[in-house]
Structure 1
Amino acid sequence: MLWVNDPLASLEFYEKTVGLTGVRGAEFAEGEVPFPSVRVSAQSLLDLAPITMAGAMDAIPGAGGTAGHPVNHVCLAMDKQAFEALHGRLADSGVAVSPYSHNSFGARGAAPRSFYFRDPDGNIIEARHYDE
């Protein structure tokens, strides 16, 4: 879950700029669900929760004291073509990106290249690709 100020604006950023598929955007806009999400893979979503919901996190057993707690970063792994397309979309949208890192270790071993960028709420996203 990423804490965001405007879930619909964040959904638009993740759909149009990052290239992920939105989930439950219309339902959120209609007030039917508490937050929208974006699909990272068939098995993974990122929830885009309004920061105003953060206080409710303390009500979840075992999550006391975590309300609104930020994460360091989220990593999106992709193939080389998607990686280069994302880098281009970010540049076209005026989103600042870090210099490339080379051979950084991750879930699938060393990635030839990776870079970091921030979403509109300041959440840090790492993009990386692996050799197929």
Structure 2
Amino acid sequence: MTEHTTRLDHIVLWVNDPIAAAGFYEKAVGLEPVRLTDYSAGEAPFPSVRVNEETILDLMPRAKAERMGMLPGAAESSGHPVNHVCLSLPSGDFDALRGRLEEGSVPVSEISHDSFGARGPARRSFYFRDPDGNVFEARHYD
């Protein structure tokens, strides 16, 4: 496989309450909040959570959807969710995530096997939703 220099920097998720969303991602998913204090103090337009050293999820308040004007047509597409975001984890972290979600009464799908992804067939995967309805898949390859 050829090494690429393109990396995934961030994904913007529409959420109703960014502080509550950050709490969900920290407690249930295990992702570290970024700029949460600055957002709470009105000094940042939205908080984020860190997926890894080079990727974050921005938790954009849904109320800002009508103000998205970075390119023609952006306002019309704002607030529409993506189909799902997939998180790849080591086997132990995969099991720990599923356990935390179940402990927090977050509905999860059945575990599937060998679904295709960026690194080929995953050994196991499952789906869950965040409190704002964004769908996530969790998987591991090892």
Question: Could you give the per-residue CA deviations for residues 20-62 of structure 1, whole angstroms, max 9, x where no partner exists?
Answer: 01100000000000100000111100000100011122x1125
User: Does 1:37 pair with 2:48?
Assistant: yes
User: Does 1:79 pair with 2:105?
Assistant: no
Query: RMSD between aligned alpha carbons?
Result: 0.9
Q: 1:110 aligns with which of 98, 108, 121?
A: 121
Residue 38 of structure 1 aligns to a residue whose secondary structure is strand
Q: 2:64 aligns with which of 45, 53, 57?
A: 53
Residue 2 of structure 1 aligns to a residue whose secondary structure is strand
User: Does 1:95 pair with 2:106?
Assistant: yes
Counterpart-to-counterpart distance in 2, 1:63 and 1:78? 35
Residue 65 of structure 2 aligns to a residue whose secondary structure is helix
Q: Which structure carries more strand by proportion? A: 1
User: Is there any run of 5+ residues in structure 2 with no aligned partner, and where?
Assistant: 1-11
Counterpart-to-counterpart distance in 1, 2:132 and 2:80? 14
> So what's the TM-score if we normalise by structure 2?
0.89
Cα distance, 1:66 vs. partner?
Answer: 1.5
Counterpart-to-counterpart distance in 2, 1:6 and 1:130? 33
The runs of at least 4 consecutive aligned structure 1 residues that moved more than 2 Å come to 62-65
Q: Percent identity?
A: 58
Cα distance, 1:88 vs. partner?
Answer: 0.3
